[in-house]
A and B are shown apart, each in its own frame.
Chain A
């Protein structure tokens, strides 16, 4: 069973601050990593993906990947109330499948 772990509890951040989310994965063969955002009662929507070690920036979001440590992170800069959601980390494995973590809830306090 491929595992993706997101162990942090709900994260509360003040508006304008940086939110930091972490994720570890078990399959060393995973090549692709994804962050999805899921608002309450809605389906997940893709925020960004990362394939290579290092940082990838897209607007206020930065994904970081360290394959040696099997670790993926997501930084949200200048957090806004609209960023309040659950963030799901996913890692690829065979036959175009993804394994998802249970998610981290982020609450941005105005």
Chain B
């Protein structure tokens, strides 16, 4: 069976500090990977998605970046956090190379920027 991990679970960071969130998937190969942000009272916003190692597509211009150094690892980063970066960050995966679109979410990271 497939499992998706995210860490850390919670994070409190000062404005201007860097950020690194990690997501790993087990039990599948070549998955599609996604980063979403869910701000308070708002819907899920797709930030980045990846269909393979080193292949990153950005949905929304912002001060965040993503990388996929290994097949089942997806990293979300920032050099300098803004207050508006606070939110619930969710990583998701779907089967790669198929028509099925079902996405499965990790447990999430709750980020508070002070």
Contact = CB atoms under 8 A, between A and B. Distances in A.
Interface of A: 31-32, 34, 36, 41-46, 49, 88, 90, 92, 95-103
Nearest to B32: A96
A46 B104 contact: yes
Given A46-B103, A98-B103, A102-B43, 6 more contacts: A95-B51, A96-B32, A97-B46, A98-B46, A98-B101, A100-B44
A44 B101 contact: no
A102 B44 CA distance: 7
Report which residue of B103, B104, B106 has the largest number of chain A beta carbons within 10 angstroms of its beta carbon.
B103
30 contacts: A31-B101, A32-B100, A34-B101, A41-B110, A43-B106, A43-B107, A44-B44, A44-B90, A45-B105, A46-B103, A49-B101, A49-B102, A88-B43, A90-B103, A95-B49, A95-B57, A96-B49, A96-B51, A96-B94, A96-B96, A96-B101, A97-B34, A97-B49, A97-B101, A98-B46, A100-B43, A100-B44, A101-B43, A102-B43, A103-B43
Nearest to B110: A41
With most chain A CB atoms within 10 A of its CB, the pick from B46, B101, B106, B107 is B101
On chain B, which size bracket covers the interface?
20 to 34
A31 B100 CA distance: 10
A102 B32 contact: no
Contacts of A43: 90, 105-108
Nearest to A4: B43
Interface string B33-56: 010000000111010010100000
A46 B102 contact: yes
A51 to B, nearest CB: 9
B101 A88 contact: no
A75 B110 CA distance: 31
Counting chain B CB atoms within 10 Å of each CB, the highest count among A46, A90, A96 belongs to: A96
B64 to A, nearest CB: 17
Contacts of B104: 46
A103 B108 CA distance: 18
B89 to A, nearest CB: 10
